[in-house]
Amino acid sequence: MGGHSDLKLLVNGKRLDGRTQFDLRPIRVEVGVLHDADGSAFVEWGKNKVICGIYGPRECIPRHGADPYKAVLKCRYMMAPFSSLEEHGRSGPNRRSTELSKVIREVFENLIIVENYPRTQIDIFVDVLQSDGGTRTTCVTAAAAALANAGIPMRDMASAVAVGKADDTLVVDLAKEEDNFGQCDMPVAFSYRKKDILLLQMDGLLTRQEIETLLNEAEKASEKVYVKQADALKKVYDSKEEKFKM
């Protein structure tokens, strides 16, 4: 956002990567990719690659941070130094990654039944291996699948998608160029069953009418994302071949 370029983001209704207005990039979800983590997921969303590991509920460190009534959720979002062309992830946590860690944590604070595990902490680690716009939505999608894979009790599943406006056209699932040179980027996370909005951020300007249209489109898109998560989670129990992981 805020960048300026002569690049045409939409030509004859086709976007830079050939998608139409409300198309999603191809998504691939895989769960149980890490051996030692309690739950894990790998998500490829267009050119984004995100890996997520879940640990816990385990002993809360530091001890004084523990809550006697519920589990404490901790989330760490990090971009690998090699994840993009820009100066990301080179020098530890920065303002941006701290913000993303917070918004991802808050998505799951609304879903996980934290009262079941007093005095413990649950760790969510999301690492961006490759980024191409929309990493926070990819991370929410990966973390939800990994938490389900870990067997951590949740009231609902979460799936996220970014919507926005580029070249005066409303679009779903913004890629890097649309995010950088477009007019608005609005990542949204929905819970599947209740359709609660768990995350909503907006960078840029939209009219009230546009927001309504985009939220509708985002809800439809998030259901498509949910199908991918569900398929990945169920696939673990369908495979006939034996995997020796121990």
Partner 1 sequence: MNNNRKIVLPGERISDKKLYLPNTFVEGEETFAAVIGMLDEEGKYIPLESRYKPLQEDTLVGIVTDVRHAGYSVDINLSSPAFISSKDFRVELNLGDIVSCKVGQVYEVGDVDFAEVKKLPPGKVIHYPPAKVPRLIGRKSSMINLIREHAGGDIIVGNNGYVWISETSNIPLALKTINIIIQKAHMSGLTDEIAQFLKNQTGESKISAQTGE
In angstroms, give the least distance from the CB of 95 to partner 1.
32
Q: What are phi and psi of 184, to 5 degrees?
A: -155, 145
Query: Residues 6 or more apart from 9 whose CB is under 8 A from it?
Result: 15, 16, 166, 167, 177, 178, 181, 182
**183 phi and psi, to 5 degrees?**
-100, -30
DSSP state of 63: G
Q: Which is nearer to partner 1, 11 or 246 (CB)?
A: 246
Classify 149 in phi/psi space as left (phi over 0), alpha (psi -120 to 50) or beta: alpha
Of the two residues 16 and 33, which places its CB atom closer to partner 1 in the complex? 33
Identity of the residue, 32 or 46, whose beta carbon is nearer to partner 1 in the bound complex = 32
C-beta closer to partner 1: residue 76 or 119: 119
Please report how close the Cβ of residue 143 comes to partner 1 at its closest, in angstroms: 13
The number of residues making up the chain comes to 246
**CA–CA distance, 105 with 203 (Å, rounded to integer):** 20
- Residues of the shown chain interacting with partner 1 in the complex, contacts defined by CB under 8 A: 39, 56-59, 68, 111, 113, 117-120, 147-157, 191-193, 230, 233-234, 237-239, 242-246
> Measured from the CB of residue 28, what is the shortest distance to partner 1 in angstroms?
18
- Say whether 217 sits in a helix, a strand or coil: helix
Shortest CB 109 distance to partner 1, Å: 15
Q: How far is the CB of 83 from partner 1 (least distance, A)?
A: 29
Please state whether 127 falls in left (phi above 0), alpha (psi between -120 and 50) or beta.
beta
Contacts of 106 (CB under 8 A, 6+ apart): 198, 199
CB of 140 to partner 1, least distance (A): 15
In the bound state with partner 1, the residue whose beta carbon lies nearer, of 11 and 237, is 237
Q: Rounded to an integer, what distance in angstroms lies between the CA atom of residue 79 and that of residue 21?
A: 28
The nearest distance, CB 246 to partner 1, in angstroms, is: 6
Task: Please identify, using beta-carbon distances, which residue of 215 and 227 lies nearer to partner 1.
Answer: 227
**Comparison of 14 and 194: residue with beta carbon closer to partner 1:** 194
Do 221 and 27 contact (CB within 8 A), yes or no? no
